[in-house]
Structure 1
Amino acid sequence: MYGLYQILYFTVIDILNTFKSPFFIVVLGIIYIQYIKIGKIEKENIGYRRSAILKLITSAIFGALGGILTTVIFLYLGVVAIPTDYMYILVVSIFLSLINPRYMCFSYGGAIVSLCSLIIGYPKIEISQVMSVVAVLHIVESILILLDGGRNRLPIFLEKGEDIVGGFNMNRFWPIPFVIFIGDGLIQPITLMAIVSYGDYSISSYPRRKVIKTSLILFLYSAILLYISREVENPFLPPLFAILGHEYIILQNKIIEERKTPIFTHIDKGVRILEVLPDSIGTKLGISTGDILLKINGIEINSNKDMEDFTKIKAKRLKIEVFNMKSGLTTKKYYGKIKSLGLIIVPRDF
């Protein structure tokens, strides 16, 4: 137990020191730019932009927690992250991200470096350890997805056949500073950096359910990769499984979303709520994603225009009838100044 406390102490100190390093600041800058881009899309789609700074702060906090967890897993499983080997993975992953952002994933970088080592003999690396590092980083990524993957989800609208359906994009980035301990006599901690991301979409299930499902699938994939990296003698199997398994997960996700029936569709009576903006009247009244808004002050609501009309007449009292799948038909009342209900609905057409 004392050993664990020492590990956590040095890990936390080194990770906090990393926050002041130029490289970490550059990484935060890259993530911040991504959140700025997402914010512009938010403004176009829903007329509301969440704070990029707040997104960055939460990403850094969860990333730091992920770094502590990564360090502990490495030590207790005996996984060795050799700095030079790891830098090969990082450089290749960054290069791949320039081709396609989703290739930033360490599965591709680690697998390519490992296959190059096996086929052409360069670079000279420990395949088992490299792929074990990749597996552990994915385990931590799956946990971060579960805890933080659904934050700041972005409502989207798609054409499916002749209908308009609603859905969500999930985009999160985490800088993960983790610590390795090297040296035979005097043990020295060294901090390395990983960047993991979660990009997903859902039109056939609620965002939270999709996040949980994705997290579990990624955790299973990571556990299998860790096992074959440490236990299977064939050195080609771990990198091949890393690439093919990852591609299979992405392909299956796409097929499922295309084939399953969308749940956020327009309806004949009332309007379906896709998203409720923070600090809005809808949030205060407890209206949630998937609810059906039927009436406001006794008048049927069948479009966005119907809702906007109530903000124009400057009513000071609202009586809203909402249908929820769990609680059924409920009536919610609001008293006070009304600017916007803060409800994003599934439209009948663009």
Structure 2
Amino acid sequence: MELLGTLLLMMGRVLLNIFTAPHLLLLYLLLFLLVAWQYRRLQNVSESLLLKPRGDYLKSAVISTLLGVLGGILGSLLLVLVGTDLSDIGITYLWITALALMFIQPRFLCFAYAAGVLAISNLLWGFPSISIPQLMGLVAILHMVESFLILLNGPINPLPVYIKKSGRLRGGFNIQLFWPIPLVALMSLGLADPGYAGLEMPVWWPLLQDYSGFSDSKAFAMLPVLAILGYGEITTTQSARQASRKSALLLFQFSLVLLLLAILSARSAYFLPLAAIFSPLGHELVIWLGMRNENRRGLYVQPSFGIMVLDVLPGSPAERAGLKSRDIILNINGQPLDGFAAWQEHLKAGRSELLLKMQRNGRMVDALIKVSGNSHPGIIPVPDESAGKFLVVEDDYIFSLARRLWRRMLEGKF
């Protein structure tokens, strides 16, 4: 515990430097503005589909930034305890490769893919000169932090959208998240001075020891690093909370296995190819499992009678009246509600009070919505076929191609 306390104190001083040093603080503010701009852009897409503003993009940016600081503390602790050395990972090559892969497929702008490419290139041709265990350790820890942030941030203010998939309209939520992350990372300084009195670490440190070049007398410095982590998913078959929980679990399992492979490959070269291959393929498996879930029947589809609530705008009369997502409105002011068009007529009537009879989880409930002036009640319904604007979601090309090839192999057509 004493060691942990000392490490936290040292990391705290370096993190504090990010928020006190003018150049680092300015860069961090720029990252915050970039995150806020991304949230505003996503909100504009949602508003263009649903015609009603949410107005909470700045709140989302602030929440993500605060959670990013928390994730940065966790990531910094993991990077230090594992012993990830930034001087051995070829960070320039990593960024160049990630940007190049982005032009092949946008989702390939992820260090899991770039690290796999660099590791395989190093094993085959010896270029670039990098430590594969250190590189995989960094990728694993960043994804572990991401899984933690998805779990906390995913259910907060997901954006409702209308989706057309396989020719049918359904409601869903666009979970796009961005976090500015202040990190503390290690960088080796070479051999320590004989009189160097550094922090005495336990005998197992670092976990990512490269025994061919590791020396007990090597000195390390803690450096501040700024980064942005991002995550994106559209869910139509689960609630935003359920989808976030599942994605976080899958990503944590991926990062845990990759970290284990990084540690094993630092001790035995036999594990190096396995770590290099698992980094991109394991990440693809995580994405495929998420996409496969979206092939099920939609959760937010219009019932045979009435309309289903997709989302309730924050601070709206409907939220104050207690309406929730997936409530099915059957009756308004004593009149049966037989579909989307009837709902629009009730809105155009401009009544100040709407007495709703609804079905919620199999039981009947009442709600009274009081609307003042021309304000909107705040209910975003699940779409029907009359919805004029929606997003078209197609199956991923790579996964579709792999599925077709697999089927052809099973049918013996190769």
Question: Normalising by the residue count of structure 1, what TM-score does the alignment of the two structures yield?
Answer: 0.90
Tell me, yes or no, if the aligned pair for 1:50 and 1:152 is still in contact at 8 Å: no
Q: Which moved more, 1:36-45 or 1:234-243?
A: 36-45
Which residue is equivalent to 2:308? 272
Task: Compute the displacement of 1:312 (Å).
Answer: 3.8
Aligned residues: 348
Equivalent residue for 2:339, pick from 303, 306, 309: 303
Which residue is equivalent to 2:177? 172
Distance 1:83 1:33 in 2: 34
Larger relative contact order (C-alpha < 8 A, sep ≥ 6)? 2
Which residue is equivalent to 1:7? 10
Closer/same/farther in 2, CA of residues 315 and 157 from structure 1, 3 Å limit: closer
Task: Compute the displacement of 1:114 (Å).
Answer: 2.0
Distance 2:317 2:62 in 1: 26
Which residue is equivalent to 1:248? 285
Closer/same/farther in 2, CA of residues 251 and 162 from structure 1, 3 Å limit: closer
Which residue is equivalent to 2:329? 293
Closer/same/farther in 2, CA of residues 57 and 18 from structure 1, 3 Å limit: farther
Does structure 1 residue 16 correspond to structure 2 residue 53? Answer: no
Distance 2:228 2:88 in 1: 16
Distance 2:339 2:78 in 1: 52
Equivalent residue for 1:71, pick from 57, 76, 80: 76
Distance 1:133 1:84 in 2: 8
Which residue is equivalent to 1:331? 366
Does structure 1 residue 216 correspond to structure 2 residue 216? Answer: no
Please list the CA deviations of residues 227-285 of structure 1 after superposition, one character each: whole Å capped at 9, or x if unmatched. Answer: 01111433121121010111122123222211x12121111211011111111111111
Listed as ranges, the gaps of 5+ residues in structure 1 are none
Task: Compute the displacement of 1:95 (Å).
Answer: 4.0
Tell me, yes or no, if the aligned pair for 1:96 and 1:104 is still in contact at 8 Å: yes
Distance 2:149 2:6 in 1: 25
Task: Compute the displacement of 1:54 (Å).
Answer: 2.9
Q: Which amino acid counterpart does residue 317 of structure 1 have in structure 2? A: E
Which residue is equivalent to 1:149? 154
Which residue is equivalent to 1:58? 63
Tell me, yes or no, if the aligned pair for 2:305 and 2:339 is still in contact at 8 Å: no
Distance 1:248 1:18 in 2: 41
Tell me, yes or no, if the aligned pair for 1:45 and 1:155 is still in contact at 8 Å: no
Closer/same/farther in 2, CA of residues 213 and 248 from structure 1, 3 Å limit: same
Task: Compute the displacement of 1:224 (Å).
Answer: 0.4
Listed as ranges, the gaps of 5+ residues in structure 2 are 199-219, 388-414
Equivalent residue for 2:41, pick from 34, 37, 40: 37
Q: Which amino acid counterpart does residue 129 of structure 1 have in structure 2? A: Q
Which residue is equivalent to 2:383? 347
Which residue is equivalent to 2:263? 230
Equivalent residue for 1:194, pick from 199, 219, 227: 227
Tell me, yes or no, if the aligned pair for 1:164 and 1:346 is still in contact at 8 Å: no
User: Percent of counterpart pairs with the same letter?
Assistant: 27
Task: Compute the displacement of 1:126 (Å).
Answer: 1.0
Q: Which moved more, 1:200-209 or 1:41-50?
A: 41-50
Tell me, yes or no, if the aligned pair for 2:140 and 2:259 is still in contact at 8 Å: yes
Distance 1:310 1:20 in 2: 55
Q: Which amino acid counterpart does residue 319 of structure 1 have in structure 2? A: L
Q: Which moved more, 1:328-337 or 1:307-316?
A: 307-316
Distance 2:143 2:292 in 1: 23
Closer/same/farther in 2, CA of residues 160 and 75 from structure 1, 3 Å limit: closer
Tell me, yes or no, if the aligned pair for 1:18 and 1:191 is still in contact at 8 Å: no
Please list the CA deviations of residues 205-235 of structure 1 after superposition, one character each: whole Å capped at 9, or x if unmatched. Answer: 1111011001001100110000011114331
Does structure 1 residue 111 correspond to structure 2 residue 144? Answer: no
SS of residue matched to 1:236: helix
SS of residue matched to 1:340: coil
Distance 2:176 2:21 in 1: 24
Question: Normalising by the residue count of structure 2, what TM-score does the alignment of the two structures yield?
Answer: 0.77
Tell me, yes or no, if the aligned pair for 1:83 and 1:192 is still in contact at 8 Å: no
Distance 1:66 1:89 in 2: 22
Closer/same/farther in 2, CA of residues 65 and 19 from structure 1, 3 Å limit: farther
Tell me, yes or no, if the aligned pair for 2:174 and 2:232 is still in contact at 8 Å: yes
Distance 1:170 1:158 in 2: 13
Larger-gyration structure (1/2): 2
Tell me, yes or no, if the aligned pair for 1:63 and 1:176 is still in contact at 8 Å: yes
CA-based RMSD of the aligned residues comes to 2.5
Closer/same/farther in 2, CA of residues 199 and 37 from structure 1, 3 Å limit: same
Does structure 1 residue 96 correspond to structure 2 residue 101? Answer: yes
Distance 1:18 1:221 in 2: 36
Tell me, yes or no, if the aligned pair for 1:10 and 1:189 is still in contact at 8 Å: no
